[in-house]
Structure 1
């Protein structure tokens, strides 16, 4: 982007070039515009600027609606979802499991199965969903 900025290429053209070269919607036009503004200010470093603490604002008000969150963070619903946030029982939570969450799941499995069962040890607790699939076979006489 920095190489294209001094050449006079528009932010929209650069956005289209990047998306065509890598993947559809890999970068948004508004993001390229912000980078162009930084370049014009003389900031050519690739380091991100300090953030305004959006997640701390979310933790302070966990029962906020998605519309209120959009207004507070000045971003779209899609961006909120891409951050990996999910609303569960009217409280925003991260979709990622912590090591403590994973250990708790193993502990519950250990308490539910007989002491000599290897079943809980064979399951890795992670961000997966399990579905029981029962194949019924019909015997023809």
Structure 2
């Protein structure tokens, strides 16, 4: 008799009901079936399902196949395992660096009404999707770099024929179109990028790590524009990028002004 996953699932469920540990269950299966026994991760997954009261997930699987965009939390009561961003708990050193950066930046700006804020350009990268949804795993996408200031949008530059930002891309394509100081990332802080900025008399403004709430693009531009595009379907990543650009250009000037005022307020309360 050839055993399949259904048979093994029944055996795992039997061992679960016997209150065997996952290790004990695996040991029994290995002693009987050898190399054909399920992997430890399979046993762990099924134990998790059984603990949540889901002794048979075939119905769930059928629902997902019928509509992959179904809200599993609302309709099925299961956990969401794929998310866009997981908060990072800052270490004491990172917290101190964040506070120190905020204080130094505020000292340079002097006040909310200081004209110095107009000399600051903020740049960051993000994926633009053909269909904006919670789970990005199976959607066509293209990365863009967007640069903004208190005066408004500066530039949005897509990456062509590559999927990640590199120092070469920064110095040959991105920065020649505008000269904003990039954020904290390996491609941003690469020696080649720093050298280019120095030659162009552009000061590099360090950004504290794991602090997206202090980046205008992270707390304003990207969520604001992507919410406007949510629910729209585009035929290609290029079409999605064009729609993103148009939405950014349509943003009223007073919104950008308010964005950077909010940025200063965030630093004051950090």
**TM-score of Structure 1 vs Structure 2, range by shorter chain:** 0.3 to 0.5
Structure with more of its chain in helix, by fraction:
2
TM-score with structure 1 setting the length: 0.33
TM-score with structure 2 setting the length: 0.19
User: Higher relative contact order by CA 8 Å / sep ≥ 6: 1 or 2?
Assistant: 2
